[in-house]
Amino acid sequence: MKDTSNIIANAKRTILAESEAIANLANFIDIAFEKAVNYIYKSKGRVIVTGIGKSANIATKIVATFNSTGTPAVFMHAADAIHGDLGTVLKDDVVICISKSGNTPEIKVLVPLIKNYGNKIIAITGNIDSFLGKSADFTLNTFVEKEACPNNLAPTTSTTAQLVMGDALAVCLLELKGFTSKDFAKYHPGGALGKRLYLRVSDLIKNNQLPKVLENDSIAQVIVEISEKRLGVTAVLKDDKIVGIITDGDIRRMLSRTTEINNFTAKDIMGKNPKSIHKDAMAIEALDALENNTITQILVKDDDNKYVGVVHLHDLIKEGIF
């Protein structure tokens, strides 16, 4: 049976080795990187990212990051490119070639073909003196002293360095383009992340009922309204404007003091100046308001300060935002 006592130590060694190599990448950021970013930024075409082996896996992630941050990109496997997929590259496209050694047979065949088409090549390589490093128009150095693999064979630290260099390109382009959270939402409409960026309060309340009572309504009417509308709360209105709020907690506290409720009205137990939010506010703002005020419901108003609904914490949970 294998000795498992070194698992934690090996994991920490791997993480530290890779983190040190990544930190060293900052020393390789030079004018070539700046020129590469500016060339992509000004290009009218797409970014074609290619590689082979583990570098191809990294290329697909870099493509995904580019696409999600406003830089159109396409993955092209280096081996497939020299067997028919080179047609992926169009006239104005920029090609990023990723290779640790920069001397693989596929890269040596592919690079001259791309250059013959007139496309610029950005190399991401751990060997700037390699065929790829010397042939590229812009060479980005991702040299690492050794892999995290104890045999210094399995691509680990080197592929992490490639990925980080791709992230650096994407983030610099994102900032040049002035890419905002609203732009990000357009590319991430699904899931909780997208909802945080585009879902509004008005979207949350459209299927909710509208619990409301008037100032002089009886406590019995208040209890019925809260029970029927099932939001645990009702707004108290005067001339369609919010003047108060009553929660099921308010009802419980009142009943703990007295059961003689016939002489009480809504205004006797309502909370005045309740928290509210505009219907066009983002759903994430509603969540912030609930958390900051330690409440589970918040009333919603329109442009005329009229009451239009209730956002409950459950609405945010249902949408995956909380």
List the binding residues for Zn(2+).
Answer: 77
Q: Which residues are annotated as a binding site?
A: 77
In 92-192, the DSSP E strands lie at 94-99, 121-125, 138-141
Query: How far apart are the C-alpha atoms of 190 and 94, rounded to whole Å?
Result: 29
Label residues 182-194 b or e (16+ Cβ within 10 Å = b).
eebbeebeeeeeb
Query: How far apart are the C-alpha atoms of 60 and 70, rounded to whole Å?
Result: 16
How many angstroms separate the first and last alpha carbons of the chain?
A: 45
Q: What angle do CA 192, 196, 197 make, to 5 degrees?
A: 120
Please, what sign has the CA dihedral across residues 22, 23, 24, 27? Answer: positive
Q: Which of 215, 222, 251, 233 is nearest to 314 (CA)?
A: 233
Query: How far apart are the C-alpha atoms of 69 and 188, rounded to whole Å?
Result: 10
CB atoms within 10 A of CB 72: 12
Contact 48, 88 (CB under 8 A): yes
Q: Which of 49, 58, 13 is nearest to 161 (CA)?
A: 58
Query: How far apart are the C-alpha atoms of 136 and 312, rounded to whole Å?
Result: 57
Q: Which of 68, 43, 53 is nearest to 166 (CA)?
A: 68
Local structure of residue 232 (DSSP, 8 states): S
